[in-house]
C-alpha cells in the first residue's frame, strides 16, 4: 500500500524546496560565496590602492601634507605608477581574503539565525555583527602576511624591488611566524570587531534606504539598487575604519619596522605616543576614510552584482 501524503505535508515540502532555490546552501552556496567574494576583493583593491599607499605613508612617515598634496608630490617625484607600488600582493591575496570573508560570514549568519542552533540570535543586526566578528577572525590568516608585505613595499625608502623579494627576505630574516605573521595579534584585535561593525552597518544602512514597497529611496527619491549598495557599503566601510583607525596605525608601524625599533605592538604604541603624541593614532585618517568609501563601496557592489548575475 502506498503511503498517503497529506496536503499539509505537500505544502511544507514545496516551501522547503522554494527556500532552497532562493537561498543556496551547502556546497553550492559556499562556492557562490567564495567566487563572488574573490571578485569583490579584486574590485576593491583595484579601486582603492592609490589612496591606501598614501595612508600607509602618512602612518609610517608623518608629514604636514594633506592626502591629495602628498599624492601629487608622489606623482611628481616618483612617477605616475608610484601610488600603485605594492599592489601585487593585495591584488593577488585580497581575492582570497574576501572569498574567505564572505564564505565565513554566510554560514555563521545562517547558524546564528537558526532557531534550533545552540547560539540563536533573534535580531538580524545582531546576527550580522557576530557573524562579521567570526569572519573577521578567520580572514586574519590571510590579511596578516598580505598586509605586512604591502606595508613594507609602500613605506618610503623601501629597499625591496618586488613583493616576492620582500616576502622571501622577511622569512629568511625572521622565519614564518615572526616574519610573515608579525603583528598577527594586533591584526586580530583590529579585524574581529571591525568586520562585525562593517556588516552590521551595511545591513542597517540598507534597511534605512529601503522603503515600505521594497525599493530603495534617498531623500524621498527612488534610487537604483546598485547606488544603494554603493552608499551603504562605502559608508559602512568608513564607520568601521573610523573606529579601528588607531589600532590600524599601531599595526602598520609595527609591521613596517624592519630596523628592530619596536619589540611588540604594545611597545610600538608606547614609543609612538611618546614621540608624536596622541595625534599619531589618527595619522592618515583622511586618506583612510576616502579609501574606505571607495574600496568598500566597490567591494559590496561587485559582490552583490556578481551574485545576482550568477543566480539569474
C-alpha–C-alpha distance, residues 224 and 215, integer Å = 8
pLDDT score of 161: 84
Q: Which helix (H) or strand (E) holds 43?
A: helix 26-60
Cα gap 112→129, rounded to integer Å: 11
Grid cell in block for residue 9: 505535508
In sequence order, what DSSP letters do the residues of 271-288 get, joined into one string?
HHHHHH-GGGGGTTHHHH
pLDDT of residue 5: 42
What Å distances lie between residue 17 and 32, 115, 117, CA to CA? 19, 19, 21
Look up the pTM and report it.
0.78
For residue 188 the three cell numbers come to 586580530
- What is the mean pLDDT of each successive set of 10 residues along the chain, which is 312 residues long? 42 42 50 87 85 81 79 84 76 82 92 93 95 95 90 83 89 92 96 95 92 80 89 95 93 92 94 92 87 92 88 74
Amino acid at each position: 500500500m502506498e503511503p498517503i501524503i497529506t496536503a499539509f505535508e505537500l505544502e511544507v515540502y514545496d516551501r522547503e524546496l522554494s527556500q532552497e532555490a532562493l537561498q543556496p546552501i551547502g556546497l553550492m552556496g559556499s562556492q557562490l560565496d567564495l567566487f563572488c567574494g574573490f571578485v569583490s576583493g579584486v574590485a576593491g583593491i583595484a579601486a582603492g590602492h592609490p589612496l591606501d599607499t598614501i595612508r600607509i605613508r602618512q602612518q609610517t612617515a608623518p608629514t604636514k601634507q594633506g592626502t591629495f598634496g602628498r599624492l601629487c608630490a608622489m606623482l611628481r617625484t616618483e612617477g605616475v605608477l608610484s601610488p600603485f607600488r605594492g599592489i601585487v600582493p593585495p591584488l593577488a591575496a585580497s581575492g582570497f581574503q574576501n572569498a574567505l570573508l564572505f564564505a565565513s560570514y554566510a554560514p555563521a549568519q545562517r547558524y546564528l539565525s537558526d532557531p534550533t542552533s545552540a547560539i540563536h540570535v533573534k535580531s538580524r543586526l545582531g546576527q550580522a555583527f557576530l557573524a562579521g566578528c567570526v569572519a573577521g577572525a578567520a580572514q586574519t590568516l590571510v590579511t596578516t602576511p598580505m598586509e605586512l608585505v604591502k606595508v613594507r613595499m609602500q613605506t618610503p625608502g623601501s629597499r625591496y624591488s618586488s613583493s616576492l623579494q620582500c616576502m622571501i627576505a622577511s622569512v629568511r630574516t625572521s622565519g614564518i611566524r615572526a616574519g610573515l605573521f608579525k603583528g598577527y595579534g594586533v591584526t586580530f584585535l583590529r579585524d574581529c570587531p571591525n568586520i562585525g561593525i562593517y556588516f552590521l552597518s551595511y545591513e542597517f544602512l540598507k534597511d534605512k534606504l529601503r522603503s515600505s514597497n521594497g525599493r530603495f529611496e534617498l531623500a524621498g527619491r527612488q534610487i537604483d539598487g546598485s547606488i544603494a549598495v554603493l552608499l551603504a557599503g562605502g559608508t559602512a566601510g568608513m564607520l568601521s575604519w573610523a573606529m579601528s583607525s588607531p589600532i590600524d596605525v599601531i599595526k602598520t608601524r609595527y609591521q613596517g619596522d624592519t630596523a628592530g625599533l619596536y619589540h611588540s605592538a604594545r611597545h610600538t604604541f608606547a614609543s609612538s605616543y611618546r614621540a608624536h603624541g596622541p595625534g599619531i593614532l589618527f595619522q592618515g585618517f583622511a586618506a583612510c576614510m576616502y579609501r574606505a568609501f571607495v574600496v568598500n563601496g566597490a567591494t559590496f557592489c561587485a559582490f552583490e552584482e556578481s551574485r545576482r548575475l550568477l543566480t539569474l
